Structure 1
């Protein structure tokens, strides 16, 4: 009989991060394909046999070919339970990605071999490093004409400030791509194209780091790879597991996700190198995964995964204990009891009822406004897990209805989209139209699309005069009330009723800070206003 410790040891929970178009969603598909979780890549088919990624389920994602929402998938491989979280690559949805990164124990960074390190990659890596998240790097698209691998490694080290350790090395590129040499197993896997092949049993393997057959077949490209391997091995540090686990060194793999090539090595590395679930900090204490009592935190809410049922799913990362279907949990924020009869696990849109789950697992709780982002659920203990970020919006628009008769649908839609963090919704102290805040322009487009397709509401978005927002707190409740009353025209309330000071010009904020020294102005808030960070 397996123990809780055994189950924790089996778990690997990681996110895939990258710049848009680096091949992140394709790699997600191939990891699932290789682990046998799906039978054919892009397996959700339209009637005309056009494909979109299994992990891209939202209508706008299929139309635009981008990942807008984070997807959660669970699979088994080599006696490990792998929880894989695919994240949006586009910077406009970075807030969703940041929150997902709080729920994982490792990250897989995908880099386009032609483009190298791109801005969004750098931004996401900074979030990982702030949390000391271990990172495995996959350099993709070696079947195309790309940069020299030495140049890419050098850029990773200089731009990201992180030493690299090559675990595999490419032989040639583009039409001359011959395969990859596994430096630890001392063998070469010969490249063979094929988008839907699930296994590698029939891949050709050439043994040794100096194979006569490989030298004969791949000529100068094999010799060049040998020279580069010698150079890299002499110049770089050996793999240090402790440095990797501290997020200070990254193992590097080369391949072609579209051809399911080099994916096995990455999957093996995730099992062999990535850590099992570890301790997680709460405001009250540090929570160990092997503790017997259940605890978990809601890091994502998604509305309308099943449009026919208008559902809202709260994604919860289990931090400790064992989840058993039907158990009663306490929502710490509200003190309310939460029943767990219909909890689900996911393979993108495919769902199964969960009978039990363990630390590191991601479970979906059907939820009708009871749960909020950042909520902690326990068997009774008062705990509040920290670190789930909400960033002050940088863009603002006023939303107006094309049909005034649909104001109820609009409010429902915006409430639900605000709860899931797709957009920030503000209600002005003085009333009037709702104000939307976003990190990027594409968020507004997605919200307009979802209001139309999921809630049947046509809207117009008009520019707002604000350029900045800051959440406000004070140790003195009377002082905070005086500030709100004195600045009523600039005060709005967000989805968790946290007061926000809306700013037209930066100088307005400077003046307010001088006039109200007892008021703190925050560029970031955590769950339900419990933890704010100044900026």
Structure 2
């Protein structure tokens, strides 16, 4: 069975402005795939290809670049993925994590460990991904590498081994390596044993090797590059295996064609191959493989490589290519904000729908919803910067001038008890040729929506069961108060249908035959009746915040936090600066951001990240419905009858 060169899928993660993209450029220069170092400030980097990224100086979309690391032990192909650091674009990071083998976490030697650093590190540790730290910007005034390493130990709770390996490395490594500890005690310890233990523990993710330097000057980058194959796990894929891959990014080409960024895990994919995508065969029309700093046209792509694939018309992010690989699922919290976008020119409503649908292909978490009653479009967001980016993208790529309504907080609903409802075929008040019974029960926190059968699968055609299941998920996008319903178990308790009937001359008689449409139309009424009987609670998102401000305003800050419904922790003093963390409702974060400059003479620094959901305080908010309201039977049936 032929084997290929080992490959390492490497992610570059960091808080915004820590220097991820600059480090990527320096690694490409050191690896010999570019001759001139690009600059974020001048907009000339390899991975920030969008004009908007170049203007803003931030990464918005993940980007892939490939290079080879040559070592005495052999060559390793590195597929490097540069990811956004701004929290508004955390969804781009999420889509990349599932294809990574290891991570370089960039931390500024000046700012140290920041809020997004902690969010990212907790996530990669939960996934078991090994991490190398690069402490960047050591050429800047105020850089303090020992202090930053101490922050990593304290704030991330991770054992750190400064590189190159020194005496303190033995203390760290022996804490998790009994053989090394024995060698240290009996005096047989050697440098080779220490290096071997470091490689094993780094690849296992139990220690962090930490390099320091500057992506701008290049200091420390060559050492980091050379260490990647040894300290992070690579894979040795085989071609002689069934095709297996996963799509982690989708974009549109210049002619509007869909391009799927695909990691090939096993086997190979060739131009003109036909592969199943979402239940239909798709023909691969073109392939570009990332190789030595560029995406190069190829007739095929083999295991271990990342490619851009054309021809997969219906493909979506997360789809399997060939044999379905194991999925690690979602890792970050969903967006907690929502807004309405409308065209300035009402005549462009149709064009806006098309454009937003394409943007939703690239970022499914914006959760595009159309209000069929008022013909408006709703988007879910992580923050105001994301809204600005969407507005600019619509203007520059689609020539659409749009306006946004005020951003609101996106709550969720959970059932608080059990509820059930059933309507039988040919019995009032059921106007549909279907029997549907549903029971709803509270699910475990974080479990999402679970649909299960309490009736025999063979009791009616599978397509009817599928219609009920799909409609359950669609209906739960809006609960009793209009918010998405989660952590719920829906069980189908009754089913029934009328078999297909035909007249003597062979024509189909709809008045005597059940269809999937009967089940789709009846299910919302049954489900919402059961949910209303169970009752729901509305929960709002809560953020964890970290706040730093001058000590002399300490007495004023807690009063403002209390007014905003925040729950602060215990303040800690760091010289003339006070640090305070705690929790605050997501809906009040913007008010805190506005109040902070005046409260702290412009010296306050606020960082925040999603923490959890908790029941809303005060009156329960209702969300404007975008459907025809199955809670109002008369209104709903009038709409269905007009539609039918």
Structure having the higher Rg:
2
Is the partner of 2:68 in helix, strand or coil? strand
Q: SS at 2:358's partner residue?
A: helix
Task: Please name the residue that 1:298 is paired with.
Answer: 247
Three-state SS of the structure 2 residue aligned to 1:139 is strand
Separation (CA, whole Å) in 1 of partners of 2:450 and 2:540: 8
Alignment-derived partner of residue 3 in structure 2: 5
Q: How many residues align?
A: 423
Q: What pairs up with 1:22-33 in 2 under 5 angstroms?
A: 22-33=18-29
Aligned to 2:359: 417
Answer with 350-359 or 472-481: which moved more. Answer: 472-481
Aligned to 2:618: none
User: Deviation string for 1:264-286 (max 9, x for gaps)?
Assistant: 111111122221238xxxxxxxx
Aligned residue for 1:138, secondary structure, equals strand
Write the distance in 1 (CA, Å) between the matches of 2:328 and 2:170.
Answer: 42
Tell me if 1:351 matches 2:351.
no
- Which residue in the other structure is 2:63 paired with? 71
Of 405, 428, 439 in structure 2, the residue corresponding to residue 462 of structure 1 is 405
Residue 100 of structure 1 pairs with residue 92 of structure 2: no
Note the C-alpha offset of 1:426. Answer: 1.7
For 1:122-271, what aligned pairs fall within 5 Å after superposition?
122-168=118-164, 183=165, 229-230=166-167, 232-233=168-169, 235-237=171-173, 239-271=197-229
| Partners of 2:111 and 2:243 in 1: CA distance | 44
**1:114, distance to aligned residue in structure 2 (A):** 0.8
Cα deviations by residue, 1:477-535 (Å, 9 ceiling, x for unpaired)? 48948965995882789xxxxxxxxxxxxxxxxxx98944899x999xxxxxxxxxx98
Name the SS of the counterpart of 1:41 in structure 2. coil
Contact 2:28 / 2:293 at 8 angstroms: preserved in 1?
no
Gaps of 5+ in 1: 169-182, 184-228, 279-287, 494-511, 524-533
**What is the aligned partner in structure 2 of residue 320 from structure 1?**
266
2:452 paired residue number: 475
| Deviation (angstroms), 1:390 | 7.2
Q: 1:99 to 1:68 in 2, by over 3 A?
A: same
Report the equivalent of 1:88: 84
Aligned-partner Cα distance in 2 for 1:255–1:345:
31
* Partner secondary structure for residue 95 of structure 2: helix
SS across alignment from 1:258 = coil
Q: Quote the Cα distance in structure 1 between the aligned partners of 2:349 and 2:358.
A: 14
Shift of 1:389: 5.2
Tell me, in whole angstroms, the C-alpha distance in 2 between the residues paired with 1:73 and 1:92.
23
Displacement after TM superposition at 1:166 (Å): 1.6
TM-score (norm 1): 0.71
C-alpha contact 1:95 1:391 (8 A) present in aligned 2: no
* Cα-to-partner distance string for 1:245-295 (whole Å, 9 max, x where unaligned): 2322111111111012211111111122221238xxxxxxxxx86761111
1:169-211 C-alpha deviation (Å, 9 max, x unpaired): xxxxxxxxxxxxxx4xxxxxxxxxxxxxxxxxxxxxxxxxxxx
CA distance in 1, matches of 2:540, 2:320: 23
Secondary structure of the corresponding residue to residue 376 of structure 2: coil
With the length of structure 2 as denominator, give the TM-score of the two structures. Answer: 0.60
Q: Does 2:47 correspond to 1:55? A: yes
Secondary structure of the structure 1 residue equivalent to 2:216: helix
- 1:40 to 2:36 alignment: yes
Q: What are the Cα deviations for residues 316-371 of structure 1, in whole angstroms up to 9, with x where unaligned?
A: 1122223333333222xx22222223111247995311333333321112257510
Q: Counterparts in 2 of 1:355-434, with a 5 A limit?
A: 355-366=299-310, 369-378=313-322, 381=323, 385-388=327-330, 391-421=333-363, 423-428=366-371, 430=373, 432-434=375-377
How far 1:431 sits from its partner (Å)? 5.5
State the Cα deviation string for residues 95-134 of structure 1 (Å, max 9, x = none).
1102111111000111111111111111111111111001
- What CA deviation, in whole Å up to 9, does each residue of 1:28-81 have, x standing for no partner? 001111111111111899xxxx44311101111111100111001112231221
Q: Distance in 1 between matches of 2:331 and 2:282?
A: 24
Secondary structure of 1:293's counterpart equals coil
2:256 pairs with 1:310: yes
Does the residue aligned with 2:12 lie in a helix, a strand or coil? strand
Give the deviation of 1:430 after TM superposition: 4.7
Q: Are the counterparts in 1 of residues 22 and 39 from structure 2 also a CA contact under 8 Å?
A: no
Q: Secondary structure at the match of 2:315?
A: coil
